[in-house]
Chains A and B, each alone.
Chain A
Amino acid sequence: MSHGRDIGEAIIRPRLSIPGRLGLILLALFGLLPIYWLTSTAFMKKEAVFALDRPLFPVDPTLDNFIGFFQNDALLQALANSFIVSTGTAVLSVLVGGIMAYSLSKFRYRGRNAIMFMFLIGQLIPGALLLISLYLMLSSAGLLYTYTALIISFTTFTLPLVVFLLKGIIDGLPDDILEAAKVDGLSRIATMFQIVFPLVVPGLITAAMFAFMRGWSDLLFALTLAGPDKQTLPAGLTQAFIREGTADWPALMAASLITSLPLAIIFILLQRYFVSGLASGAVKG
């Protein structure tokens, strides 16, 4: 490292050639132009997008599409449902998953490997495959069309990710800390909640974030297990706009932006945790 950091840097991160730059611009345009179109349509008037000389940017911008969303009781209810269900999913996932991760990380017992294997496999089961049995089960338990139905379903599907993410982090805590807590006479439960979890708060936040996003984005369960009163935004939007046949595209894009905004805010606030969590969560399974 002592010999010329610049030379090393130039090798690891070479400058981009002209074709490289052009390629990057093209790929970046594919990534970003749709975002532009989503945003700019949301500010257009309904008549403008159906006009023959429709513009490529909001010439005469309007907020009507956003105001319309907040005047629509069904969509407002769906927005509230989304917050309730996603927050519930985040809290339950981190609580149940955090305890599970601690157990897998610091204790050795019979069946531990089987449990790890079950979660590894569980990550791969698609929701559609469980849909019918889940529907019948929740129905006979009297839980169909409740927040609880959605929260426990989303939590189950988020658990593998949360468990492996947090296990990786708790693995990094030295056992001496646990020993010290034991010597100090702290109970096992207290050690977990007062020593272990406070030390891995960034990990807990990352996990909560992923769980929140999972609950916020799902369509299939929201469409089938929630019913009209408890359904979250993805299901609400699908039914409000697509099923009616006449798509009011500017209103739909405004509603889409509102639906995406909480996730964008979470991302901006927690970007640092996010990228590392995403990479480790994926690669470590």
Chain B
Amino acid sequence: MQQAILERPATREATEPTGPRSGRRSTLGAKDRTFGFMIALPAVLLFLVIAIYPLVSSIGTSLYDQSLLTPDRTFVGFDNYVAIFGEFMARLGTTLTFATLATIFPVLLGVALAVLLNARLRGRNILRGTLMLPWLLPGVVVSFLWAWIFNDSYGVLNHLLTMVGLPEVSMLGNPTGAMAAVVIAKTWHSFPWIMVVALSVLQTLPAEQLEAATIDGATRSQRFRYISLPHIVGPVALVATLEFIYNFGNFDTIFVMTGGGPGDSTTTLAVSLYQLAFGSYELGKASAMGVLWLILLAIISSAYLLLNRRLEKR
């Protein structure tokens, strides 16, 4: 829709080729270009100083033995990388497990809800509105809530299981349970976002296509399989990639619910980096961890950018 708005001035220009005054670019002289560049500076500078410079400077820090507590530091070359490499690989495995599961489930749930809510249904606006609530809550609130639900002794989950005669489960006390718990909490937090995106894309589906297919004898499931699904697959893939990248760097869900435990079964890269820097005060090692992570992020981000470009062309 935004694309359509964008194109309007250009087409009008093409149909009314009049004097230089009405031309779109002609009155934008060199001074305007300078002005445009000047007003971009505040945001660009802020971004360079707060986001880009720290990235570069962390490469420097990763080559030093540096503590959070004392200002002096010694150059150690790649020692930090050697020291943390094993740990990095272990944390990477945990991070990938969490990020993958915490992306797949919200996507499945969000798309399913979008398809169901796209049907003719009384009260669907109210339902859609209330189902947005989990997404609104701050990450820490989501974590507190699910930690309380999963509490071994007093949690409502075990209470309900006991009431219907099923055995209790220990979620946060064992490695598999803890991973499941953080994935469920994150799924609950993220699905509304996917749902809203999928729903808004479904609603842009041209009615003519569906009608034409019906006239041609397509059944309801065929219409879904061959028209609706291909229509939403691109935008949903884009959102899923974004969700994966965000989950990869997730801190609050895991830190509050499990603190990375039990043991280090839910210690992802973000939690590990925090613990190294602010728990053990090992800034050099934490930075080395961050640089390796940055390299991975660059690879994943390229996938996102490719997907983004392909969708914009469509």
A35, B134: Cβ atoms under 8 Å?
yes
What is the number of contacts between chain A and chain B, taking CB atoms within 8 Å?
311
Give chain B nearest CB distance to A71 CB in angstroms: 20
Q: Using known A-B contacts A13-B120, A124-B304, A153-B50, determine if residue A217 contacts B139 with beta carbons closer than 8 Å.
A: yes
Pick the residue among A99, A133, A233, A242 that contacts B256 (CB under 8 A): A242
Name the CB-closest residue of A to B62.
Answer: A132
**CA separation between A26 and B312, bound complex, in Å?**
36
Residues B106-163 near A (CB distance < 8 A): 109, 112-113, 116-121, 127, 129-134, 136-141, 144-149, 151, 154, 156, 159
A237, B43: Cβ atoms under 8 Å?
no
Pick the residue among B33, B39, B58, B301 that contacts A99 (CB under 8 A): B39
Pick the residue among B33, B34, B39, B293 that contacts A100 (CB under 8 A): B39
Binary CB contact string for chain B from 242 to 256 against chain A (1 if under 8 A, 0 otherwise): 100110110110011
Does A168 lie at the interface of the complex (its beta carbon under 8 Å from any beta carbon of B)? yes
**CA separation between A285 and B238, bound complex, in Å?**
9
**CA separation between A30 and B134, bound complex, in Å?**
10
- B contact set with A: CB distance below 8 Å: 2, 5-6, 8-9, 21-22, 24-25, 27-28, 32-37, 39-40, 42-44, 46-47, 50-55, 57-58, 61, 68, 109, 112-113, 116-121, 127, 129-134, 136-141, 144-149, 151, 154, 156, 159, 188, 191-193, 196-197, 200-201, 205, 207, 210-211, 214, 220, 223, 235, 238-239, 242, 245-246, 248-249, 251-252, 255-256, 269-270, 273-274, 277-278, 283, 286-287, 290, 293-294, 297, 300-301, 304-305, 308, 311
- A contact set with B: CB distance below 8 Å: 1, 7-16, 20, 23-24, 27-28, 30-32, 34-35, 37-38, 41, 49-50, 54, 56, 96-97, 99-100, 102-104, 106-112, 115, 118-122, 124-137, 152-153, 155-157, 159, 163, 168, 171-172, 174-175, 179, 182, 188, 192, 213, 216-220, 224, 233-234, 237-238, 241-242, 247, 249, 252-253, 256, 259-260, 263-264, 267, 271, 275-276, 278-280, 282-285
